[in-house]
Amino acid sequence: MALVKPFRGLRPNPELVDAVAAPPYDVLNSAEARELATGNPHSFLHVNKPEIDLDPDVNVYDEKVYQKGADNLRKMIADGTVRQDDSECFYVYKQIMGAHSQVGLVANASVAEYENDKIKKHEFTRPEKEDDRVKHIDYQNAQVGPVFLTYRASEAIDALTNQVMGNAPVYDLESDGVRHTLWVVDDAAVIAELENEFAKIDALYVADGHHRSAAAMRIKQMREKANAGHTGEEPYNYFLTVIFPDNQMQILDYNRVVKDLNGHSKEAFLAAVSEKFEISPAADLNAAKPAQTHQFGMYLDGSWHQLTAKPAGYDDNDPVKRLDVSILQENLLSPLLGIENPRKDKRIDFVGGIRGLGELEKRVNSGEWAVAFAMYPTSITELIDIADAGEVMPPKSTWFEPKLKTGLVVHLLDD
């Protein structure tokens, strides 16, 4: 079963929602966030990227940053920029990006189910990023960034969310080409039906937000240990999520650029690549864009090539090894380019597919990067299969779009 609960969400004043709603903390660097929030005191970037209100020389992991975020959140509450709902609610969140639309439920998920792997993961976390999220939650006493979960689609849940969307939304805004619409679910009968239908779901899966969910678990463990009267129903036992059905998820390609050819000449490199991949020239980026799994586009020295993995280079029966990101890593990036640990190696960078393959050309043509690889998107089925197998995906395997806005609903831990 999947335990999901309503909660008293902290939400923006409807007249200010356009000013408050902000990108997730991890899609902008500090300089970009500072520029975006300039002249906008209501931007939630003051909460989820609070270093923008301090001297740029202050380290982003300094205690001053976490305290500033807490101060900024409390100020927003005090001045009425955001207010907490009077009763426990669910929230239906719809996003439209071009021809794609997805509808999710904003809800509290159970930390205990995360601990017991009923909420399944597919990525390792990095300790420093986990520590950062723990401090962010602890200082603010709030979860401000939702974890992006998915589940195998349910017609009954779809029917309930469609019913909710027949009412007037509380927010309807457009930002960066994406329309974000939110409905409050405060009808006790509908809330009960949603809880009951999710209780029939076998498992939830972390799509995006592994560090936020791991941090929520650590906060729960810290506070449980410090609370002699722990009941299991305190707000820290739950974490903020938006839960989307798997058949509405959109994963884009997550592409790679590498600084150099690891000492190879262009000719030697191409010859080595041809041992594990079929290589054919491509007229341009459109012709090079992978059309199916096990195909890759490669941009090198002003020209595009299409690569097709030879069957001997992967195990189609292994859910991890048959991933395109694994095939590229094991047959090219590691043995030829010397990228042994893509999580830490500074010679590789990752480019979200939302930027298009033109961004790969731009990077290589700048002279700062030597070669680029265009990937075919990982599917949500592959993600779920790996999570079900208890396996872990290679780093930077998925790029989900559209991104969730931060600041539309916050979960306070002192409720």
**Residue 375 near residue 325 (C-beta atoms within 8 A):** yes
Q: Which domains does the chain have, with CATH numbers?
A: 4-250+401-412 (no CATH), 254-376 (3.30.1760)
Number of Cβ within 10 Å of residue 75's Cβ equals: 13
The tokens 């969310």 sit on which residue? 161
Model pLDDT for residues 235-287, shown as the tens digit of each residue: 999 999 999 999 999 999 999 999 999 999 999 999 999 999 999 999 999 99
**Residue 69 near residue 53 (C-beta atoms within 8 A):** no
Residue 395: predicted pLDDT: 83
Residue 282: predicted pLDDT: 97
Model pLDDT for residues 337-374, shown as the tens digit of each residue: 999 999 889 999 999 998 999 999 999 999 999 999 99
Q: Which residues of the chain are modeled with pLDDT < 70? A: 415
Residue 283: predicted pLDDT: 95
Say how far apart CA 207 and CA 243 lie, in whole Å: 9
Q: Which two tokens stand for residue 409?
A: 């609903």
Model pLDDT for residues 166-183, shown as the tens digit of each residue: 999 999 999 989 999 999
Residue 250, φ and ψ in degrees, nearest 5: -125, 115
Residue 182: predicted pLDDT: 98
CA distances from 52 to 25, 67, 75, 111, 163 (A): 12, 13, 16, 31, 41
Say how far apart CA 104 and CA 161 lie, in whole Å: 8
Residue 1: predicted pLDDT: 76
Residue 125: predicted pLDDT: 86
Long-range contacts of 325-329 (CB under 8 A, 24+ apart): 325/254, 325/375, 325/378, 325/393, 325/394, 325/396, 325/397, 326/394, 327/294, 328/256, 328/296, 328/373, 328/375, 329/394
CA 398 to chain centre: 9
Residue 34: predicted pLDDT: 97
Residue from 399, 374, 379, 397 nearest 288 by CA: 374
